[in-house]
Amino acid sequence: MKILIIGGGGREHAIAWKISGSPKVDKIYCAPGNAGIAELAECVDMNVMDFDAQVAFAREKEIDLTIIGPDDPLVAGAVDAFEAAGLRVFGPRKSAALLEGSKSFSKDLMKKYGIPTAAYEVFDSPETALSYLKTAKMPIVLKADGLALGKGVLICNTRKEAEKGVKSLMLDKQFGSAGDRIVVEEFMTGREVSVLSFVDGKIVKIMTSAQDHKRAKDGDQGLNTGGMGTFSPSPFYTEEVDKFCKQYIYQATVDAMKAEGREFKGIIFFGLMLTENGPRVLEYNARFGDPETQVVLPRMKNDIVEVFEACIDGTLDQIDLQFEDNAAVCVVLASEGYPEKYEKGYPITGLEAFKGQDSYFAFHAGSKLEGSKTVVTNGGRVLGVTAVGRDLKEARKNAYEAAEWVSFENKYMRRDIGKGIDETG
């Protein structure tokens, strides 16, 4: 088979790596890819939003299956464009990707179908939002309705902060039209868990759990980032939690989408908060998580191409999804200064140590090939070093060891990914 992957981050590198292990696959293309993906796939310089170019390429190269990685193209209808051209593609159509593309849509869906989530109100005008805030309980959470690069959520401790937040989202348009409408939500406390799942329109199969560290600094301090590291499984995702979510959240979401005429095929990423009143949905994503994928796929036993095909064909019931009884930790190596100002273009050394390893991975995100040999930094999050181990403690030790194999100017990482999580830690 010939496969095309759309995207160019650490998530897509992990997907490309997993696909490369499938005996069904002869050739992988990735658009646009990155320097790490280029070791496994032929990278093609195409914009992730240029569906015409992608479809033309897929036709010309006789691609058998295309995987859409990021949220933006999914929400904008990438899958519909491929399907309209009669091409096989993995991911939700535009109508179903709305599960991630609109927070008010997903909140209304959960309310209508009784799926546990935080209480909320939706506002289309800053005046009504501000008047609601006068009597609302603090802290409170404001969310831009549309996609905002994962940054459209504001946790406000005081009324003043919340008023400022409404102004910046709705009047100053900090995230453009994503803030034309906002969701104002009850603040919840508890452990967060990420659960990725495969969905074939009718049924859902859950992958192993993971958790990411979103803040830039140790001890979950500093600014929010795209993710500084992950671990899998989450010890907080107990059998009891799993049972509750299977009963009230996972299949209920897939059924709700079907009932709304928005049959979902692809990945649903359930962002959960384990509150003292039980698990609640924080958010849905309609795609693999980044950097959750970098710890989940190295633990997956199945041929992922078979699972993708089962989702498209509606035969996921025939797949026995299995994960290794081990653990994985991913430590993101970032450019000092991220998520604010940072410099790019520094040579990265030490990557050859990962060649031929099956327990250590360097999943590239912001990297680029300069000339034919030199890999240089090209983003805030440069790469994610993943290692597996028998348990979290061993995986963490291995990941931090391997993180030292890699050098580049201004390299920065958190030192506490997965630390203090399990009793052995």
Which of 7, 9, 289, 339 is close enough to bind ligand GLY by CB under 6 A?
A: 289
Which of 39, 64, 185, 212 is close enough to bind ligand GLY by CB under 6 A?
A: 212
Name the residue among 263, 123, 257 with its Cα closest to residue 184: 123
Q: Does 278 bind ligand GLY (CB under 6 A)?
A: no
User: Which residue type is seen at 89?
Assistant: V
Q: Choose one: 23-31, 132-140, 288-296, 403-411; the region binding ligand GLY (CB under 6 A).
A: 288-296
Instruction: Match 């999050």 to its residue by tokens.
Output: 381
Which of ligand AMP, ligand GLY, none has residue 292 at its interface (CB below 5 to 8 Å by kind)? Answer: ligand GLY
Binding mask 149-168 for ligand AMP (x = CB under 6 A): -x--x-x-------------
Q: How far is the CB of 66 from ligand GLY (least distance, A)?
A: 20
Please give the Cα distance from 10 to 12 (Å, whole number): 5
Binding mask 318-357 for ligand GLY (x = CB under 6 A): ----------------------------------------
CB nearer to ligand GLY: pick between 265 and 381: 381
CB nearer to ligand AMP: pick between 186 and 416: 186
Locate all alpha helices (DSSP H) within 21-154, ordered by sequence.
51-60, 71-76, 78-84, 94-101, 103-112, 126-133
Binding mask 341-380 for ligand AMP (x = CB under 6 A): ----------------------------------------
Q: Which residues contact 24 (CB under 8 A, 6 or more apart)?
A: 1, 303, 305, 306
Q: Choose one: 75-83, 180-188, 319-327, 402-410; the region binding ligand AMP (CB under 6 A).
A: 180-188
DSSP 168: I
Which of ligand GLY, ligand AMP, none has residue 153 at its interface (CB below 5 to 8 Å by kind)? Answer: ligand AMP
Structure tokens at 68: 């859409």
CB nearer to ligand GLY: pick between 145 and 292: 292
For CA atoms 312, 313, 314, 320, give the dihedral sign. negative
Q: Does 100 bind ligand GLY (CB under 6 A)?
A: no
Which of ligand AMP, ligand GLY, none has residue 282 at its interface (CB below 5 to 8 Å by kind)? Answer: ligand AMP
Q: How far is the CB of 292 from ligand AMP (least distance, A)?
A: 12
Q: Does 227 bind ligand GLY (CB under 6 A)?
A: yes
CB nearer to ligand AMP: pick between 18 and 143: 143
- Residue 154: C-alpha distances to residues 51, 145, 369 (Å): 32, 12, 36
Q: Within 10 A of 64 (CB to CB), how many other CB atoms are there?
A: 18
Please give the Cα distance from 20 to 408 (Å, whole number): 28
Q: Which residues contact 289 (CB under 8 A, 6 or more apart)?
A: 11, 194, 196, 210, 212, 227, 269, 296
Q: Which residues contact 20 (CB under 8 A, 6 or more apart)?
A: 28, 40, 41
Name the residue among 193, 232, 196, 395 with its Cα closest to residue 304: 196
Q: How far is the CB of 119 from ligand AMP (least distance, A)?
A: 9
CB nearer to ligand AMP: pick between 180 and 186: 186
Please give the Cα distance from 170 to 160 (Å, whole number): 15
Please give the Cα distance from 334 to 411 (Å, whole number): 6
Q: Assess contact for 139 and 156: CB atoms under 8 A.
A: yes
Q: Which 283-302 residues touch ligand AMP, going by CB under 6 A?
A: 283
Which of 102, 197, 234, 285 is close enough to bind ligand GLY by CB under 6 A?
A: 285
Q: Assess contact for 196 and 293: CB atoms under 8 A.
A: yes
- Residue 36: C-alpha distances to residues 129, 259, 268, 346, 365 (Å): 46, 41, 26, 15, 8
User: What is the largest distance, in Å, between two alpha-carbon atoms of the chain?
Assistant: 61
Please give the Cα distance from 301 to 308 (Å, whole number): 14
Q: How far is the CB of 283 from ligand AMP (least distance, A)?
A: 3
Which of 171, 187, 238, 409 is close enough to bind ligand AMP by CB under 6 A?
A: 187
Q: Which 123-142 residues touch ligand AMP, going by CB under 6 A?
A: 141
Task: State the residue number with the nearest CB to ligand AMP.
Answer: 283
CB nearer to ligand AMP: pick between 213 and 411: 213
Which of 121, 192, 255, 391 is close enough to bind ligand AMP by CB under 6 A?
A: 192
Q: Assess contact for 251 and 204: CB atoms under 8 A.
A: yes
Structure tokens at 29: 């293309």
Q: How far is the CB of 97 from ligand AMP (least distance, A)?
A: 15
CA–centroid distance for 211 within its chain: 11
Interacting residues with ligand AMP (CB under 6 A): 118, 141, 143, 150, 153, 155, 185-188, 192, 271, 282-283
Interacting residues with ligand GLY (CB under 6 A): 150, 212, 227, 285, 289-290, 292
